[in-house]
A = this chain, B = another copy of it.
């Protein structure tokens, strides 16, 4: 616990930058005595914003980065040409070893491309996945991959299961997290070509607790701790989860506001519903780690508030304390 963890933070990434990002950094350093944060972005802007807060000044630094990568830019090109952007500067701080981790709420594509191009893969890792923790009825579930590899090879899914196991063991303390393969049915012979081949590999894989195929509805029921899939399917089911929950909640709200008695009813149940919804608030998990890199890159939601940014930074602390990357190399003989 006495070790210092040094995280770079993209102060210009996301819808609420730089205000919420900087507020999140202040929260995080106050909550984590071992944490030091270097903000990347236009120095004047950041210093001006920092003036609003009282904080331990030796634990928040600023790295000047006048350029910004916009959401719509072609990722690889943006990473290659905007060398002075808040994203590239932050990733370079990890590459150089000055920082242990980088957190951004900016372009997912640029973060993924930059993670691979600048930070680089752990030797032996085929492709780093993006792996958000998502809410379920029984606690967080790691959805791996959910954004990086659209057409993965079956062996890549095996590595996702291995890295996910080390990550969940370190982050949640579960000794033997359950790994499920997302599929259209529980029977072994079900699925597309990728799922069938991956199933065979996962069954033979040592060091993971593979419980077989699971259907998408089991994710939210919380029947496994890690869901292995390709990024295309992972992204589709995550967005379906978010869309269904939000559409349902809006429709419930509209239905309750439509009548006098239901309005009274709504008042009575409001606290209970709020408590319930907070269980389904993914921001508590603080963004999605990109696993298999030589440092940690965490992608926070584009609409992150200070709370999510602070949680993402807290994730970096645990990631280093639990030596996740060392354990990935050890467990996978890399």
Contacts and interface: CB of A to CB of B under 8 A. Distances in A.
Task: State the main secondary structure of chain A at its contact with B.
Answer: helix
B244 A220 contact: yes
Interface in A54-97: 72
Interface string A226-259: 0000111101111111111111101110011011
Given A193-B150, A236-B236, A262 B256 contact: no
Interface string A250-288: 111001101101101111110111011001100000000
Quickly give the copy total for this chain: 2
Contact of A272 (B244, B250, B258): B258
B272 A259 contact: yes
A4 interface: no
A31 to B, nearest CB: 29
**Interface footprint category on A:** 35 or more
A230 B192 CA distance: 10
Contact of A265 (B218, B232, B236, B265): B265
A200 to B, nearest CB: 16
A193 to B, nearest CB: 5
A215 interface: yes
Contacts of A264: 265, 268
A217 B235 CA distance: 10
B262 A236 contact: no
Contact of A240 (B219, B266, B267): B219
Given A193-B151, A266-B265, A220 B243 contact: yes
A182 interface: yes
A195 interface: yes
Chain B CB within 10 Å, residue with most, of A193, A230, A261, A269: A269
27 contacts: A137-B247, A150-B193, A184-B236, A192-B232, A215-B236, A215-B239, A216-B239, A216-B240, A217-B240, A217-B244, A217-B247, A220-B240, A220-B244, A236-B236, A244-B248, A248-B280, A255-B272, A255-B273, A256-B269, A262-B268, A262-B271, A262-B272, A264-B265, A265-B265, A265-B267, A266-B269, A269-B269
